[in-house]
Amino acid sequence: MIYIVNDREGNILRKEYLEEIRTVDKIAKNTIAHVDGNKIVYSDVCQIVDGKCLENTIIDLLNNSENAINEILRLKYPVNIDPVTYAYKISGVNLGGVTTDYKGYIKLAKAVRLLYVLDESNRNKKKWNEEWTKALYNKLKDYSFEHIKTFPDPFSSTASQAKRISQQLVSLISVAVVVVAIFSMSTNMTNNWVKSKPWLGVASVVSAGLAVAASFGLLSACGIENLQWNVGLPFIILATEVDDSFVVLACWKVTDCGDSVEKRMEQTYRNAAVSITITSLTNFFCYCIGMTAQFPGIRIFSLSGYKEEKGLHPFTFKPALGIWGVLSLQDGLNVYKFNSESSEISQGFHVYYKYFTEYPFTVHVVINETLDYSNPGVQQTVYKFMQKFHTIENIAGQEYEFSWLKYYKEFQNHPISKYSLRGYDLSQKQDFMDALRNVFLKFIGAKQFKSDIIINHNYTDIVASRFLFLANNVSNRVTEFKIANDLSKIVEEAPFSVVIHTIITPVIEQGIVIRQITFQLFWITSLLIFVIFVSLIPNLHCALIVAICVVSITLQTIGFMSLWAINLDIVSVMTLILCIGFCVNYPTHICYCYITSSQTTTEGKLKDSLCHVGFPLIQGRSKSLLPGIISATFN
């Protein structure tokens, strides 16, 4: 998609603007991408229908008419339907910010959207599609137009931007390793050269690196797809898995210097092993739980969640600040926070939401099941089911429903068809199928329905069919979520197998289910942490304290995300793995040190715990922040 406005964002249906829009189309069709030594042009990647690439309605008019503006003004908005041939043109796809007269004919438009539909049925062409799209956007970016401004499709460009950032982050992994190694060496030094342990710091970084290499190697050998988000794994592992070295060092320091190395090692591991095992098992099982999530990206990372709590503040009668933030947490990717305000992608989103949300997209309803459409009972069931979609507030009226079945039935009653359908008994299944293929779909206006019907190889059954609706007034993320939820509810009640798709489905779908997944995985993770702790440290009181700490820290983290206007999306959910790593380690190490302390009083045990574990944990946390600081500074 290419979004176009004029320099003043006024009426774009003027000759000088339309001429430059035509130039944009010529640039697209003449763009060449080089892939593996091959020259790829638009005709190599476009979706072919009836032997030619799909064309934009507005470009069709510009190419075929000397008086293009008058041709455009004779179109109805958002759809122009020929009552005789049933041919329809969805003008709402190409034109935005439209004003119409009382009959629905276009008077003016403030934006144009050109669509270049690519062939995605051939997986071998995937790289061709990507490279051609990239070449087109780069060419338009470098082209200087006199009157218009062009913007790339913000939805697909966001994914490309994420991929580009991921690739650039790869070079920072080595920087993070070097910085963390130097920091580890320096913090393991003391004022005594003999007791300094610089190589222990290096060893902890090497250990984390081996974990990354081994896990990537194993998964690659198993044929697991490598996602672009995996680039964050080295930073996360480096951030969460190096601080155990400080715990081991703290346990070593409290041993008797006069004992043998073997005995000191025995005492060190006796004191450190249980708490380190608990935190390691917790992280391991959290990753395993994360593998059950519906999103492939989350399967790579572990996930912690949250629970809404109702503890009220005595003065404000509101929960604690962070928990209050949880209640107002927003779901879904915030498209404006993903890129800078001045970027072309953000400006593209502004054009989309400003001009193309009155009739923003088509809703594809696919009956993915073999049905006998010649049966009046089946026809009635399909009609009633399709009627339900018009009860949704953000679905346009019935006049904007594009149903091959509806028009086929109208065609049967049309005077012109009486002769054409002579000899066919449309109540018989095979005659119904033959008339559909050999008569109805042969008419010029009805040819566009060919892609809505999938017929089996011997032409006896319709195995799948598609019906189209226009969305209406979907102008913000809240409404996008609402229409997606409303569509899903109707599909759940369908009497046959149905699949729904819209252009915003990939972005919205994650937001719909992400809160539910977060709740489910939170309870599983919390229960698992409790079981592991009780199994290795059979002290119910300490286990409850650890559980409270995990819940509290996770709630506060998510709560402040909300206050900082960070949505609960796929990116932030993956980042929450850090929360599990941080909030489990602190209480586990301190509780275990408290239980095993040789002191007899509560005050003595607390002092012993903080003395032996507190400072090493602070060192570990300081070091753990470095990888995140490095990547965040770059971004």
**160-203 residue pLDDT tens:** 666 666 666 777 777 778 887 787 777 777 777 777 777 777 88
What pLDDT shows up at residue 574? 65
Residue 17 confidence class, pLDDT cut points 50, 70, 90:
very high
What pLDDT shows up at residue 629? 45
Q: What's the Cα-to-Cα distance from 239 to each of 68, 151, 564, 568, 578, rounded to whole Å?
A: 61, 38, 23, 22, 8
The answer to whether the beta carbons of residues 388 and 490 sit under 8 Å apart is yes
In the chain, the amino acid numbered 319 is: P
What pLDDT shows up at residue 244? 72
Question: Residue 429: which residues within 8 A CB-CB, separation 6 or more?
Answer: 372, 374, 375, 460
Q: Is the pLDDT of residue 284 over 80?
A: no
CA–CA separation, 600 and 148 (whole Å): 80
Residue 150 confidence class, pLDDT cut points 50, 70, 90:
very high
Residue 302 confidence class, pLDDT cut points 50, 70, 90:
very low
Best mean pLDDT range from 56-60, 120-124, 231-235, 475-479? 56-60
Rounded to 5°, the CA angle 323-324-328 comes to: 115
Residue 227 confidence class, pLDDT cut points 50, 70, 90:
low
What pLDDT shows up at residue 367? 96
Rounded to 5°, the CA angle 538-540-544 comes to: 130
Q: Locate tokens 């409290």: which residue?
A: 254
pLDDT per residue as tens digits for the range 35-89: 988 899 999 999 888 788 888 889 988 887 668 898 899 999 998 887 777 778 8
- For residue 583, how far is the Cα from the chain centroid? 27
154-158: Cβ within 8 A, 24+ apart:
154/3, 154/335, 154/345, 154/346, 154/348, 154/349, 154/352, 155/1, 155/503, 155/504, 155/507, 156/1, 157/344, 157/345, 157/348, 158/333, 158/335, 158/338, 158/339, 158/345
Q: Go through 225-243 and write b for each residue having 16 or more CB atoms within 10 A of its CB, e for each that does not.
A: eeeebbbbbbbbbbbbbbb
Q: What is the pTM of this model?
A: 0.66
Q: What is the chain's mean pLDDT, rounded?
A: 79
Instruction: Tell me the average pLDDT across 266-283.
Output: 76
CA–CA separation, 597 and 591 (whole Å): 10
CA–CA separation, 245 and 264 (whole Å): 16
CA–CA separation, 626 and 177 (whole Å): 10
Q: Which of 237-246, 296-305, 552-561 has the lowest mean pLDDT?
A: 296-305
More confident residue, 9 or 138: 138
Cross-strand partners of 466: 366
Q: Locate tokens 């739980």: which residue?
A: 289
What pLDDT shows up at residue 162? 64
